[in-house]
């Protein structure tokens, strides 16, 4: 039940977890970012057949029997495997008990843009190509977009609000935003939040290829040579708590989640607007009680599509004014591809790490910037910098925008 609080509670991050094409945990992912490592390469996980796009950002060497401790989650779809792995890392870092001691005061908001895509493709292949009479008995449970959320909630004994968000590339950021709202207003004390995605299949690639948004060469955000994004897979998880709850149990606080901004372009399914992203960024800064010039690093949505990168650049200029020229901006998609629904969580984690270590990750492959993208995108090599407040942008198909602002742990 909702507890009435006189004023909204502060929200902190006490655990993070990630599974990405450049690392199966946060430590490995961050180390790869420091090296400027690229996770994009030739597809190995499925037959290319008639595809003319031959690259993706795959997670290689992932063995659910080895990398997913829960036997129950091992029976799930690949996207649930990634969710289980990332959630386990975040929960362990947070140091919370299993099962959680006050289960109705915990929430699990864990999304996916596509759900069990691997299972769907396997089932259709079995039915229509192999002409089997039935699919695997677990097919239905594997494909549901809320399966990962349910799996994770079961794993940690979470009995409060548990469900998935689905908003394309803003899925994870919306999930985190809902977790923030629940904690701020007393619905929960703890929230497992994030998203997972695993859509690297032949059928999925065919659908993306048909939209003409995939690059056959690589992911080059803000670059003159950019010609599309690169599909990736993975998961990101953040454990959120009220400040009081975290302090009462002596938890190590990684960051404070200070601001959230959400908007919709309400314009077009595929052509991004400027006002929607602008308003979402402005709302996040205002919600954090900050000024634009307080932001030191911005993890851009930066998909490397022709229109998105210019629009995001222009929206940043509108929000930050003169400070836009001083702001360190990068797209970590240049290293790990576009993780779709999971991208916002992984990028939020990268933003927190930048703040913790005073080092901003690069936009690799940026040898010649687009003249219309003329801000500081930290080209090719990361750098040390004073980083106190950070912003993470997620802008999705349909004009669905969500932005987060993080600050240092409360003193």
* Cα–Cα dist 396/187, whole Å: 28
Cβ atoms of 55 and 41 within 8 Å: the answer is yes
Assess whether 169 carries a catalytic annotation.
Answer: yes
Q: Which of 67, 108, 338, 373 is catalytic?
A: 338
CA distances for 386 relative to 163, 280, 286, 327, angstroms: 37, 25, 22, 11
DSSP single-letter state for residue 293: G
Assess whether 338 carries a catalytic annotation.
Answer: yes
The span from the first CA to the last CA of the chain, in angstroms, equals: 30
Q: Which two tokens stand for residue 105?
A: 């005061």
Q: Which of 108, 169, 219, 373 is catalytic?
A: 169
The β-bridge partners of 187 are none
CA distances for 364 relative to 41, 355, 372, angstroms: 14, 20, 18
34 exposed, middle or buried (CB, 10 Å; 0-12, 13-18, 19+)? middle
CA distances for 392 relative to 184, 232, 235, 251, 399, angstroms: 20, 18, 16, 24, 16
* Cα–Cα dist 129/309, whole Å: 41
Cβ atoms of 183 and 256 within 8 Å: the answer is no
Assess whether 108 carries a catalytic annotation.
Answer: no
Please give the positions annotated as active site: 169, 301, 338
């Amino acid at each position: 039940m909702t507890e009435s609080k006189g004023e909204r509670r502060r929200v902190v991050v006490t655990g993070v977890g990630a599974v990405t094409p450049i690392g199966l945990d946060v430590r490995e992912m961050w180390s790869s970012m420091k090296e400027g490592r690229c996770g994009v390469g030739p597809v190995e996980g499925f037959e290319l057949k008639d595809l003319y796009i031959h690259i993706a950002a795959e997670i290689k060497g992932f063995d659910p029997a080895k990398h997913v401790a829960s036997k129950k989650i091992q029976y799930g779809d690949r996207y649930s495997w990634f969710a289980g792995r990332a959630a386990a890392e975040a929960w362990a870092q947070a140091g919370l008990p299993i099962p959680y001691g006050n289960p109705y005061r915990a929430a699990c908001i864990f999304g996916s843009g596509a759900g069990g895509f691997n299972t769907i493709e396997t089932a259709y292949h079995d039915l229509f190509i192999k002409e089997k009479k039935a699919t695997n008995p677990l097919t239905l449970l594997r494909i549901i977009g809320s399966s990962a959320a349910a799996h994770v909630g079961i794993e940690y004994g979470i009995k409060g609000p548990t469900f998935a968000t689905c908003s394309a590339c803003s899925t994870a950021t919306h999930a985190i935003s809902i977790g923030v709202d629940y904690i701020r207003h007393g619905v929960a004390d703890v929230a497992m939040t994030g998203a997972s995605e695993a859509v690297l299949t032949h059928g999925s690639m065919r659908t993306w290829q048909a939209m003409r948004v995939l690059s056959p060469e690589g992911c080059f955000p803000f670059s003159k040579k950019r010609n599309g994004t690169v599909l990736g897979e993975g998961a990101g998880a953040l454990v959120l708590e009220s400040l009081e709850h975290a302090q009462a149990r002596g938890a190590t606080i990684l960051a404070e989640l200070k601001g959230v901004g959400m908007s919709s372009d309400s314009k077009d399914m595929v052509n991004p607007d400027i006002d929607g992203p602008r308003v979402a960024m402005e709302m996040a800064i205002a919600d954090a009680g900050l000024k634009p010039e307080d932001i030191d690093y911005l993890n851009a949505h930066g998909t490397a599509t022709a229109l998105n990168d210019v629009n995001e650049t222009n929206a940043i200029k509108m929000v930050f004014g003169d400070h836009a020229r001083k702001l360190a901006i990068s797209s970590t998609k240049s290293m790990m591809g576009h993780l779709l629904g999971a991208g916002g969580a992984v990028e939020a984690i990268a933003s927190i790490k930048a703040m913790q270590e005073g080092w901003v990750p690069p936009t690799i492959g940026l040898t010649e910037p687009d003249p219309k993208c003329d801000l500081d995108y930290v080209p090719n090599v990361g750098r040390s910098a004073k980083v106190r407040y950070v912003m993470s942008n997620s802008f999705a198909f349909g004009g669905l925008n969500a932005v987060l602002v993080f600050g240092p742990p409360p003193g």
